[in-house]
Amino acid sequence: MATVSPVAGTRRPSVWPPSAKMPSELVIEEHPSPNSGARRDGARPDLVVIHYTAMATAKAALERLCSPEFEVSAHYLICEQGQVFRLVDEEMRAWHAGAGQWGEVTDVNSRSIGIELANTGATPFAAAQMDALEALLTDILARHAIPPERVIGHSDMAPLRKIDPGPRFDWKRLALQDLSVFSTNLEGIEPNEVRFVQDLQAFGYPETPLEALLPAFRSRFRPLHHGPLDGRDMALAHDLATRFPVDRDDLTA
């Protein structure tokens, strides 16, 4: 595991008010990244997107996220040991999501807060890291009134090109604390590709061919399952669409 030392920097105070629910044990270190800009059209965050860094060390990820050469960033980076760095103020638009969509939101960067987790994608996420993520999400969701169903993975909004946070990320753990959503509907439904795609679009996924959509969906909701679309996939997708329909009428791109 990498040990990351904070780099001195200056930052103007955030316009977002501190939350009374911020756990006292969560310490956020400032490490400003130049890779950000204004949120477009006065947008405010109503999504949280979770990523993994896919790099060998947290130190390497921190350097890349703060390098003007690579033009990528996130609002937060959480190291394996639970150390949390704020790279971009929440009122600013970090460059973490790229091309993709959730519901009708196509400029995800302007409508989201991005959280990077130091992980290669090949190992489980450390307990201290998950503890820090839960504390951070509790604070973010409370301050911005973001519902749990709008905490998503990078692969949810960009299933054609992204796989993070991957099948080792514990979405069920977050859902048990109302920090995301999950489904355990066990009653199968007759497989129907068109209906499956429609249900996932109703939940928020972008229009995507089944061959890319099914792996992205399973990575989050059935990480150990493989094979063709089945009744359990159908039941889970329908449950999500029914309980957590994305409100497309109230969302703007």
pLDDT value of position 250: 46
pLDDT band at 237 (very low <50, low <70, confident <90, very high): very high
Burial of 2 from C-beta contacts in 10 A (0-12 / 13-18 / 19+):
middle
d(CA 233, CA 128): 32
CATH class, 23-168+175-182 region: alpha beta
d(CA 146, CA 148): 7
- The two beta strands, 92-94 and 36-38, are antiparallel
The answer to whether 55 and 174 are in contact (CB under 8 A) is no
pLDDT band at 171 (very low <50, low <70, confident <90, very high): very high
* Average pLDDT in the chain: 90
pLDDT value of position 247: 78
State the pTM of this model: 0.89
Q: What is the pLDDT of residues 105-116, one digit of tens each?
A: 999 999 999 999
pLDDT band at 249 (very low <50, low <70, confident <90, very high): low
- Which DSSP symbol is given to 105? B
Q: What is the pLDDT of residues 14-23, one digit of tens each?
A: 333 333 334 4
pLDDT value of position 253: 43
**CA distances (Å), origin 209, targets 99, 198, 231, 249:** 16, 11, 18, 24
pLDDT value of position 188: 87
From the candidates 29, 71, 104, 116, which is the catalytic residue?
116
pLDDT band at 220 (very low <50, low <70, confident <90, very high): very high
Three-state SS sequence of 76-104: EEECCCCCEEECCCCCEEECCCCCCCECC
Phi/psi for 41 (5° steps) reads 55, 35
22 HSE (CA, 13 A, CB side): 10
The answer to whether 168 and 69 are in contact (CB under 8 A) is no
pLDDT band at 75 (very low <50, low <70, confident <90, very high): very high
pLDDT value of position 11: 32
Mean pLDDT in residue range 64-81: 98
The answer to whether 62 and 3 are in contact (CB under 8 A) is no
Q: Whose structure tokens read 């209906």?
A: 195
pLDDT value of position 248: 57
- Hey, what are 246's tokens? 């994305």
Residue 180, classed as helix, strand or coil, is coil
Better-predicted residue by pLDDT, 5 or 236 = 236
Q: What is the pLDDT of residues 186-218, one digit of tens each?
A: 788 999 999 999 999 999 999 999 999 999 999
Virtual CA dihedral for 235, 237, 240, 241, nearest 10 degrees? -110
- Which DSSP symbol is given to 196? H
Q: What is the pLDDT of residues 1-18, one digit of tens each?
A: 222 323 223 233 333 333
Q: Whose structure tokens read 């791109």?
A: 253
Does position 183 have pLDDT exceeding 50, yes or no?
A: yes
30 catalytic? Reply is no
Mean pLDDT in residue range 220-232: 96
